[in-house]
Amino acid sequence: MKIGDKIKRLRLKNGLTQEELASRCELTKGFISQVERDLTSPSIATLIDMLDCLGTNLKDFFSDAVDEKIVFKKEDIFEKQDDEQKYLIKWLVPNAQKNTMEPILICLESGSSFAEHNPHDGEEFGYVLSGSINIYLGGRKYKARKGESFYFKPSAVHSIANPGKSKATVLWVSCPPSF
């Protein structure tokens, strides 16, 4: 493991310059630079101080956590078909409920609707890939067609429906996850 590279990535992730990290750790900018280039190694006590300033600890820093999956393939998608309500929902990112946002694909047959959701904190975004839909938010109705998007804070009961004669497909991202 290259300690210097990992410290540099943590520093950048936290939006700190070498000088800012050095100041917080009571070290010099030159020392931080040398550590990041693996030209020197900090003592355990100094490393603990640096990691504390970077919002982590020794255990997490040295854990060999599995790399985060970036690309999801067709076989990763989980699908649920509701024949009674005439919709298909596809979870595009497995286990997205643990993430900050949850992207799904909703396919609505003509005349169908997707479950009503109660108010909650967060944000909702959708992009209509095909067809047209009605978005119901509180007592109001909004229409979105292919190529149009919607965005709202879910402070009221909300749902979507397909009033059209053809199938509608919507990419919907909920933050935090709510599907």
Q: Which segment of 95-99, 151-155, 167-171 scores lowest on mean pLDDT? A: 95-99
Contact 76, 128 (CB under 8 A): no
% of the chain residues with pLDDT over 90: 70
Average per-residue pLDDT for the chain: 91
Cα-Cα end-to-end distance for the chain: 39
| Torsion sign (Cα): 58, 59, 64, 67 | negative
Distance from C-alpha of 141 to C-alpha of 160, rounded to nearest angstrom: 9
Token pair, residue 64, equals: 């060999």
Q: Is the pLDDT of residue 179 over 80?
A: no
> CA dihedral in degrees (118, 119, 122, 125; nearest 10)?
60
Global pTM value? 0.64
pLDDT one-digit tens code per residue, 31-67 = 999 999 999 999 999 999 999 999 999 988 888 665 6
Q: Is the pLDDT of residue 19 over 90?
A: yes
**In what helix (H) or strand (E) does residue 31 lie, and over which residues does it extend?**
helix 29-36
% of the chain residues with pLDDT over 70: 96
Q: Is the pLDDT of residue 97 over 80?
A: no
Q: Is the pLDDT of residue 121 over 70?
A: yes
Walk me through the domains of the chain, giving residue ranges and CATH numbers: 3-62 (1.10.260.40), 74-175 (2.60.120.10)
CB atoms within 10 A of CB 137: 19
Q: Is the pLDDT of residue 68 over 90?
A: no
E-strand ranges in the chain read 78-82, 87-91, 102-108, 113-117, 123-130, 132-137, 140-145, 149-152, 158-161, 168-175
